[in-house]
Amino acid sequence: MSDAGGLDARLVVRRAAFDLDLALTAAPGEVVALLGPNGAGKSTALRALAGLVPMAGGHVRVDGDDLRPLPPDRRGIGMVFQDYLLFPHLSVLENVAFGPRCQGAGRRAARRAAAEWLERVGIAEYASARPRALSGGQAQRVALARALAVDPGLLLLDEPLAALDAHTKLEIRAALRRHLAGFAGAAVLVTHDPLDAMVLADRIVVIEHGRLVQDGTPADVARRPRTDYVARLVGLNLYRGRAEAGIVTIGDGAATLDSVDSLEGEVFLAFAPSSVALYRTRPDGSPRNLWRARVAAIERHGDRVRVRLAGPPFDAVADVTPASVAELQLSEGSPIWAAVKATETHVYPA
């Protein structure tokens, strides 16, 4: 991205399960979320950036300096760990003052800087408390203050919200978003929660099996998923096929779907589960995208009911109301007609 500032890295790490090979950039002030399933290499990538795992190749440049030869303590990177890892034997204030002390600040100056950071994250009244006395949300804020107190050029956050319960998470996420917006350097955030990524990040990088599979703004990733994993995360049905004259052939020609997009060639086709309509018998005035499927599973999904449809011709997910489940007399294994309007599908280049 930019040669002048921010993060420009290529991370090559050899692991037993897979090799991580990831090019990653982040402009100053930009928040990049690394999103991926468990074991995809997200945390490994973050640890490689911090210098905590050895790299087999590549580089880590922050504001132009290559940090790869440097040990973790000389990289000037702030890291918020998954379980926060606040030192249990130090007070909250001493935890935050730890970094400035290591950077050579005097005891008093370090404590003053720490107190300012605690003030900024809104937890000054807990300065003399021990970490074990804090709630999850409070500990997260202290961890953030501790990482920011070293005045890092790059901020790394490993699952910063994963340890929180659903209720505190909302509040802490909003606060974290504010602090990230106020941070001048580049920030990289690891998460497996798409919602956290959408809310916190300016850009999302999806990795699977140690490789980048998608890179884009949250809106783009949500609208145009490029792998089954991303499609599941954002709750879309996704198919890959060939488009020709408004018709998309899926797989090896097992099925076709109409679309209103005028693309040609290899494409992805996506549609939302809520745009799928289900019928017991073949509907009259038949919509074009009509197929016969088998009900594989019926699950509660918020105030809707999620119906998993098994192929042939293809698997899909439909969201319907509880009332229509009763009306359609849906049950696992029963045959069903499914339809989706061409205008509800979204086609984009593969």
Partner 1 sequence: MSPPDRLPGRPPWVLLVPALAGLAFLVLPLIGLLVRAPWSTLGTRLVQGQVLDALRLSLITATLATCLCLVLGVPLAWTLARVRFPGVRIVRALVTVPLVLPPVVGGVALLLVLGRRGLIGGWLDGTFGITFPFTTAGVVLAEAFVAMPFLVISVEGALRAADLRYEEAAATLGAGRWTIFRRVTLPLVAPGVAAGAILCWARALGEFGATITFAGNFPGRTQTMPLAVYLALETDPQAAIVLSIVMLAVSVVVLAALRDRWVGNT
Residues that bind partner 1 (CB under 8 A): 50-52, 71-79, 81, 83, 85, 87-90, 98-99, 102-103, 146-147, 150
Fill in the DSSP letter of residue 342: G
Our CB check for partner 1 shows the closer of 97 and 222 to be 97
Residue whose pair of structure tokens reads 């580049």 in the numeric block = 186
Angle between helices 107-120 and 92-102 (to 10 degrees): 120
In this structure, the number of other CB atoms found within 10 A of the CB of residue 209 comes to 14
Q: Where are the beta strands (DSSP E) in 231-285?
A: 237-244, 247-250, 255-258, 265-271, 276-279
Which DSSP string do the residues of 116-174 spell out, in sequence order? HHHHHTT-GGGTTS-GGGS-HHHHHHHHHHHHHTT--SEEEEESTTTTS-HHHHHHHHH
Query: Cβ 151 to partner 1, closest distance in Å?
Result: 10
Query: Cβ 112 to partner 1, closest distance in Å?
Result: 17
Our CB check for partner 1 shows the closer of 50 and 127 to be 50
Our CB check for partner 1 shows the closer of 78 and 137 to be 78
Query: Cβ 45 to partner 1, closest distance in Å?
Result: 15
292 with 233: CB under 8 angstroms? no
Query: Cβ 242 to partner 1, closest distance in Å?
Result: 48
3-state secondary structure of 12: strand
Best CA proximity match to 187, nearest among 209, 160, 169: 160
Our CB check for partner 1 shows the closer of 5 and 99 to be 99
Our CB check for partner 1 shows the closer of 156 and 320 to be 156
Our CB check for partner 1 shows the closer of 81 and 239 to be 81
Query: Cβ 79 to partner 1, closest distance in Å?
Result: 4
Query: Cβ 135 to partner 1, closest distance in Å?
Result: 20
